[in-house]
Structure 1
């Protein structure tokens, strides 16, 4: 239990607790809008930014964030261009992100190991700068969601009706894309780019299986996210396991229990 008093573990708990609010919350909006794979896309683009950050010796998460935001604009532009095939935009940007990341990997000789840690997560290496970035992202996301909760609800469930009612759909689509980019960029050092989509989508899947209203879904998705991240970190710390993988496997276990519970209730 000495690990609980270690400063690096306490920073990990704080960072994990913050991202466990925003990532599942944004994931719920993405899942309901059938854009679940956007998490993987922006995560891969962020890794390209992280690699560039190491290459030019600039704070990697900041460069990854810029890349993710630019990618979110590109996805939204392509999504409007190919309305009937909206998922095509995600595939195009993901391919570009992976290609750019691989190119930067070949250019980087001494930092590839550091970049790899962002792919699988390195929550125990969070420093004060990382925590400040995560905290700022959390405040921004929660503020925007609370201010625009009614508009986001309408946009999520019926984009055409939102447009007809006079809602600036383009603005809110871009806002959601930017908020998602912020969350993913802040998350990759915690669970890693390869696992970040799980933190976005699995709590949402659990919540939708158990909830009966949008409000209850939002509350449940945050509770499930917090439970998985904090419990996963504790298990990983005590038994010396990979934190990101432990969190994701715990989320899958919670999803299995949620689906069984739903079936029992229906029966």
Structure 2
């Protein structure tokens, strides 16, 4: 149990607990709006920003955040251009992000090992700067969701009705995309860009399988996210496993249990 007293593990636990609130919460809104793949897209674009950050010697997460926010604006712009093919915007931006990241990897061969930690997660290397960023993102996301919960609920379930009622749909769509970009940029060092989508979507899938109302779903996704992160970190630390992969496999196990529970109810 010595690992529980280790400073690096305590930093990892704090960062994981914070992001396990915001990532599943934003993931629920994305899943309900059929935009689950936006997590993968913004994560890949963030990696291009991280690579550029290493190349120009600027805090990588900050550059990744700028890239993710820019990508969120681009996705929303393309969604308006292709209203009947909303998923096309996600595919286009993801392709561009991967292409840009590959070029930056080629330019900066010396830092590729560091970038890999953002691809697969490196939660044990979180420092106090990382924790400050994650804490700020958590506060921003929770504040916006609490202040605009009614508007976000209406937009999520019926965008047309939201527009008719006078809600500035375009700006709220951009707001959701920016919040998602913030969460993903803060998450990639915890579970990695290749796995961050799982932290967004799998708790949402579990919550929707078990919940009887939207309010229940919100509570469940946060509880499931927290449980998976805390248990995954403990298991990874005790048995020397990859933390990001352990967390995601636990989430999949919870999802299977949720689906079996729902089937048993029928």
Q: TM-score, normalised by structure 1?
A: 0.99
Report the alpha carbon displacement of residue 67 of structure 1 after superposing the two structures with TM. 0.1
Structure 1 residue runs of 4 or more that deviate by more than 4 Å after TM superposition: none
Answer yes or no: is 1:112 the counterpart of 2:112: yes
Partner residue in 1 for 2:224: 224
Q: Does 1:197 align with 2:201?
A: no
User: Does the residue aligned with 2:109 lie in a helix, a strand or coil?
Assistant: coil
Quick one: distance in 1 between partners of 2:80 and 2:214?
A: 26
1:5-47 CA distances to partner (integer Å, 9 max, x unpaired)? 0000000000000000000000000000000000000000000
Aligned equivalent of 1:59 = 59
Which residue of structure 2 aligns with residue 214 of structure 1? Answer: 214
The equivalent of 2:45 in structure 1 is 45
Alpha-carbon distance in structure 2 between the residues aligned to 1:208 and 1:60 = 35
- Once residues 37 and 263 of structure 1 are traced to their aligned partners in structure 2, the CA distance between those partners, rounded to angstroms, is 26
Alignment of 1:13-28 (within 5 A): 13-28=13-28
Q: Which residue of 1 aligns with 2:182?
A: 182
Alignment of 1:227-266 (within 5 A): 227-266=227-266
Measure, in 1, the Cα distance between the counterparts of 2:40 and 2:174. Answer: 18
Deviation at 1:109, TM superposition (A): 2.2
Instruction: Report the number of matched residues.
Output: 266
Superposition map of 1:119-198 within 5 A? 119-198=119-198
Q: Distance in 2 between matches of 1:194 and 1:99?
A: 15
Secondary structure of 1:86's aligned partner: helix
Deviations 1:56-102 (A, max 9, x none): 00000000000000000000000011000000000000000000000
What residue in structure 1 maps to residue 86 of structure 2? 86
Partner Cα separation in structure 2 for residue 261 and residue 235 of structure 1: 25
Cα distance in 1 between the residues matched to 2:218 and 2:59: 33
Q: Aligned-pair RMSD on alpha carbons?
A: 0.3
| 1:110, distance to aligned residue in structure 2 (A) | 1.1
**Uncovered stretches (5+) of structure 2, i.e. residues with no partner:** none
